Amino acid sequence: MMTHSSPLQAQSGLSKAFRKVCKMLMIGVLVFNTQIGIADAASSRIKDIVNVEGVRENMLVGYGLVVGLNGTGDSLNNSPMTRQSLMSMLERLGVNVRGETLNTGNVAAVMVTAKLPPFTNQGSHIDIQVSTLGDSSSLQGGTLLVTPLMGADGQAYAVAQGAVMTSGFTIVGEAASVTQNIPTVARIPNGAIVEREIEFDFASLQELRLGLRNPDFTTARRVAQAINAFAKSPIATAENSASIRLTKPANYDKSIVELVTDIEQLQITPDQHARIVIDERSGVIVIGADVRISTVAVAQGNLTVQITEAPQVSQPNPLAQNGETVVVPRSDITYTTGEDGKIAVVPQGVSLQELVTNLNALGVGPRDVITILQAIKASGAIQAEIEVL
């Protein structure tokens, strides 16, 4: 049986060892100097690619005070909200400080945020995050006072309080300081108690919608077909590229909860668009497995100029009556024009593996690959979408 190699492989003159490495990289994830990932079209459970309508988290937010800081709190003169909040809290506790001069650095005004998971029962605990508002330098060692957490409707759904935990610190000396991580942000595991439940009678629903996390018409149709094949009746309909409507069968004697549980385990193969994702800041390139390229010629060569400065000191003769010491510049300039660069032809319909192998054969790095891919896309030779982060 005869084998054929691409034109670029014939021109590259790669060693057998390097070809073996390229062949190994074709399987799974291909890595340049930084990283190139390939999406593998494998089957997935329906529960991993869809969201069930109504089953979602809710954002909570509150405003409170952290006390007990070791002089790292807000400056009351620069943070009027901290001063007002401190006075209001003391007045509610029976302490009148109106008209008094407050000068404490142990209090900080903070915003408290949390996510209320779906179907969370009253009395359950949830994690919270605390972030400073004023000029506090650290929350280390502080304690959050009782803080109601509000939802988008203005109702309080949880109450937070407890000792904050920071993952950073700041050490200040006379002439230097050291800061690790972000000491002005802290967490309190299980720091809030749920006081109000979100009413949602999921079990009584007769129909609901499944939302695809990555909208695609082909995937939506496959999900509906898999559900109908399992139920042996047309209970699922793909409404559009993002949602599938599911109706409880008339002869199904269980609840909608059990129906969702059954169909979540069904396996399908999600489809995806041919896409290339480029992060120019980090040099990361992710190329989808369905990317195809038409016939195109690629050349890569750079002009590199290196200038080395070595100034010398020129002094007059010791017996000379006139003269002065001067610095004489000395420059050494070298350059390379990339004359040994290669030009190669990428044949029509070349696969991702062949493209990566060919670019490696040219000795192209990730930064140059980004430029090459954008140039090929501009020529209309790439049948894929390029997304630049």
Global pTM value: 0.63
Give 171's pLDDT tier (boundaries 50, 70, 90): low
Average pLDDT over residues 233-244: 92
Average pLDDT over residues 294-321: 66
What is the spatial distance between Cα 14 and Cα 244, in angstroms, rounded to a whole number? 51
Q: Is the pLDDT of residue 388 over 70?
A: yes
> Which H or E run includes 219?
helix 217-231
Q: Is the pLDDT of residue 283 over 90?
A: no
Q: Is the pLDDT of residue 172 over 90?
A: no
Average pLDDT over residues 253-270: 88
Q: Is the pLDDT of residue 356 over 70?
A: no
Exposed, middle or buried: residue 207 (CB in 10 Å: 0-12, 13-18, 19+)?
exposed
Can you give the pLDDT at residue 255? 84
Q: Is the pLDDT of residue 137 over 90?
A: no
The pair of three-digit structure tokens given for residue 329, joined into one six-digit string: 């510049």
Q: What is the mean pLDDT of the chain?
A: 77
Average pLDDT over residues 174-193: 80
Can you give the pLDDT at residue 198? 86
Give 186's pLDDT tier (boundaries 50, 70, 90): very high
Residue type for position 10: A
Give 344's pLDDT tier (boundaries 50, 70, 90): low
Average pLDDT over residues 192-216: 89
Give 332's pLDDT tier (boundaries 50, 70, 90): low
What is the spatial distance between Cα 187 and Cα 151, in angstroms, rounded to a whole number? 19
Find, among 82, 121, 79, 83, the residue nearest to 101 by Cα.
83
Residue 266 neighbours by CB under 8 Å, 6+ apart:
45, 46, 226, 227, 230
- What b/e readout covers 308-319, taking b as 16+ CB neighbours within 10 angstroms? eeeeeeeeeeee
The pair of three-digit structure tokens given for residue 301, joined into one six-digit string: 């060569």
Give 36's pLDDT tier (boundaries 50, 70, 90): very low
Asked if 208 contacts 216 with a C-beta cutoff of 8 angstroms, the reply is no
Give 222's pLDDT tier (boundaries 50, 70, 90): very high
Q: What is the pLDDT of residues 39-95, one digit of tens each?
A: 445 788 999 999 998 888 999 999 999 999 988 888 888 888 888 888 888 888 888
Residue with the bigger pLDDT between 274 and 128: it is 128
